[in-house]
Structure 1
Amino acid sequence: MAPILRPRQSLAAEKFSPYFSNLRPQLYNDPSASRSGSNNLRSIAWNPLGTLVATGSADKTLRVWNPEKPHVKFSTELKGHAAPIEKVAFNPTKDAELCSVSSDGVVKFWDVRTKNCINEVKGLGDAFTLVWAPDGQTLIVGNKSDNIFVLSHSSPTPLASHQQSVQTNQIAFCWSGERVFVTTAEGRIRVLSYPDLEPVMRLSYDPEREFAMSGHTSSCLSVEMQPTARYLATGGSDSIIALWDTQEWICQRTITSMIGPVRSISWTFDGSYIVGGSDEGTGLDVTHAETGEKIHTFKTAGACPVVAWAPTRYWLAYSDAGSLRIIGVDMDKK
């Protein structure tokens, strides 16, 4: 039996693999969900305390799970979306406020305690990205026409919209909320101010040109700020995860063990370890951020495009064969 880890207790690199080798993933089976393949589960999100995990699916199913009670009867289904759910995210300052966006351009805000939709924004196009500002007051939604909208959880219409000149993929905030990192099809990562979304840095030899990080040979698909803010991680369709130093914006190291496009990235709560998700290959490789060493591989049945570490402990949620699985949930059980 694996030893018990308290919340926010870290594991040394040499103890990581021995610890997890004694644990098995827990399946969270939704019998009402479609089994349309490994891409059915589109998004996974933890609430700020790590006590709830939400999933959004291509079959329009939006569900909130108790990670310690995997049977579907202990979960909550939130009904109302009429199109595939592309992204879900909890408000970082409100443990029971969830936001979801569907491909028909509808964003819904939910109180998961009452199951009520507390606000709705329509008409955002073929939307597929969503990220909250750290203060939980506003959030960004992007669509496939490269338009970025700034929304409020209390307004039925966007606060602002910003048309981008390049194909825009995922977006992440810095922890102050003053900047966002925007990934592009050119393989670059733009640094923009928030909420006006203007370039923050210019090239020293040409002040008219915007500075952007260039570290991928093809489209940059995912981005995630390390909890300690030392590194910004980006993932590309070139199967590479790049770790950028946030002082000089230089790529410090690359992780090249993945197979297929890096669709998602997630850090452990302490920023020590990182994992990427892809819709190709099998297994999830965990890498030590400071050394770039692969320290453990979680065995999976198939490809796992969506990965999400819990915000307070070593619980890894991921999609496998279209269903939610979590490894580590039994670590606190006696």
Structure 2
Amino acid sequence: MAPAPRRELLHKDHFAFVFGSVKTQNYLDPVSKGPGSHTIRTLAWNPTGQLIATGSADRTLRIWNPDRPHVRYSTELRGHTAGIEKALFNPVRDAELASCSADGTVRFWDDDTLIPVSVQFPSSPTTHPDGVNALNLPSSTPGATTYTALDPHPQTVQTNATTFSWCMPTPERPEQHVFVTTGEGKVKIMSYPSFDIMHTLNAHTSACLSIALAPTGRYLAVGGSDALISLWDTTDWICRRTLSSENGGAIRGVSWSFDGRFIVGACDEIGCGGNGLEIFHAESGDSIYTIPTAGVNAGVSAVAWHPSRYWLAYSTTTDGPGSSSAGGLKIVGAAGGGL
């Protein structure tokens, strides 16, 4: 698949006008196994932005074509026996996807077929997150399908989220960096795969829950249970600013636009989505636009910017007690094909 062409960069003063004029496309999966069970917990675009994966609490892992919103054009991947906690496409292979589940396994999928490898962790990452586990992914050799689990590195406090630097190892610098958020409000910067601690950021006054590196590499965004997103300059590891939504609530997911200019956070607590989904300009910290979200009691369970367009995918939680369906996948901008 050829990647979508990158658009002209959007100025923050024009953002509200542009986003206010585009439509939101809904992608409804009719399958539901009880109130809240089908809430989408994770969203992931493939490298070209021509596919998007959704993982739900009812163990449904589905691949969507953004141009064809009906569920019959999607592909359901079966194999997990519990809720999907995280899904992620291989950044250099369009059709390869990894998924992590509360059943204690990470599964790898390729061309809609399960690769015959399922890495079994000693316990579920969602119930026992007090360690750092990692996978040694296969080389780029055609046909390579061997995945090796690295040794776990137990931590003294709960680990909530991790992300890698995207710079490639070199002979002079053979290790990468991995960023780890903790339940005590810190972010550990570790070398990978040795997991030696290089630096520690005192990021928040309460638990750090989510983390994302800007595509430009300029900022590291950290979401906390204190309802703040902190932006850390990667050149000197100083916090340049914090972002706060009017809706409050713990920030369980953060996502950057492809140009690193705009950032959005996800809060799945009831009421967080009542006033809409706020988008911030990273450099100024200004709240520049709020996407209306249906349901005054809804929360936003997941967000993900498109890798090369100003399209924003998100999902809401149930609209309140007794509701039998979640908000499903929504993509702002996909309906018109612009941006």
- Tell me which interval the TM-score lies in, with the shorter structure as reference length: 0.7 to 0.9
Cα distance, 1:214 vs structure 2: 1.1
Q: What is the alpha-carbon distance in structure 2 between the residues aligned to residue 333 and residue 310 of structure 1?
A: 12
Does the alignment pair 1:194 with 2:192? yes
| Cα deviation code 1:98-125 (max 9, x no counterpart) | 00011121111001x3433342111341
Q: What is the alpha-carbon distance in structure 2 between the residues aligned to residue 156 and residue 253 of structure 1?
A: 39
Cα distance, 1:305 vs structure 2: 2.2
Cα distance, 1:35 vs structure 2: 5.2
Q: What is the alpha-carbon distance in structure 2 between the residues aligned to residue 115 and residue 325 of structure 1?
A: 26
Q: Write the mapping of 1:36-185 to structure 2, written as runs, cut at 5 A.
A: 36-37=35-36, 40-111=39-110, 113-128=111-126, 143-153=128-138, 154-155=145-146, 157-176=148-167, 178-185=176-183
Structure 2-normalised TM-score? Answer: 0.85
2:211 corresponds, among 223, 235, 255, to 223
Q: What is the alpha-carbon distance in structure 1 between the residues aligned to residue 256 and residue 232 of structure 2?
A: 14
Q: 1:333 to 1:232 in 2, by over 3 A?
A: closer
Q: What is the alpha-carbon distance in structure 2 between the residues aligned to residue 124 and residue 326 of structure 1?
A: 36
Write out the 4+ residue segments of structure 1 that deviate beyond 6 Å after TM superposition.
none
| SS state at 2:133 partner | strand
- Matched length: 306
Which residue of structure 1 aligns with residue 323 of structure 2?
Answer: none
Unaligned runs of 5+ in 2: 139-144, 169-175, 318-325
Q: Write the mapping of 1:195-274 to structure 2, written as runs, cut at 5 A.
A: 195-201=193-199, 212-257=200-245, 258-274=247-263
| SS state at 1:305 partner | strand
Q: What is the alpha-carbon distance in structure 1 between the residues aligned to residue 37 and residue 214 of structure 2?
A: 27
Which residue of structure 1 aligns with residue 14 of structure 2?
Answer: 15
Which residue of structure 1 aligns with residue 291 of structure 2?
Answer: 298
1:276 corresponds, among 261, 265, 270, to 265
Does the alignment pair 1:325 with 2:330? yes
Unaligned runs of 5+ in 1: 129-141, 202-211
| Cα deviation code 1:218-274 (max 9, x no counterpart) | 000000000111110000000000000111101000001251000000000000100
Amino acid in structure 2 at the alignment position of 1:318: Y
Cα distance, 1:36 vs structure 2: 2.8
Which residue of structure 2 aligns with residue 32 of structure 1?
Answer: 31
Q: Tell whether the 8 Å contact from 2:135 to 2:147 is kept in structure 1 after alignment.
A: no
Which residue of structure 2 aligns with residue 288 of structure 1?
Answer: 281
Q: Tell whether the 8 Å contact from 1:84 to 1:102 is kept in structure 2 after alignment.
A: yes
Q: What is the alpha-carbon distance in structure 1 between the residues aligned to residue 32 and residue 146 of structure 2?
A: 31
Cα distance, 1:151 vs structure 2: 3.7
Cα distance, 1:14 vs structure 2: 1.2
Q: Tell whether the 8 Å contact from 2:52 to 2:65 is kept in structure 1 after alignment.
A: yes
Cα distance, 1:63 vs structure 2: 0.2
The range that moved more, 295-304 or 153-162, is 153-162
Q: What is the root-mean-square deviation of aligned Cα atoms in Å?
A: 2.0
Structure 1-normalised TM-score? Answer: 0.86
Cα distance, 1:45 vs structure 2: 0.4
Q: What is the alpha-carbon distance in structure 2 between the residues aligned to residue 187 and residue 42 of structure 1?
A: 23
Q: What is the alpha-carbon distance in structure 2 between the residues aligned to residue 55 and residue 68 of structure 1?
A: 15
| SS state at 1:200 partner | strand
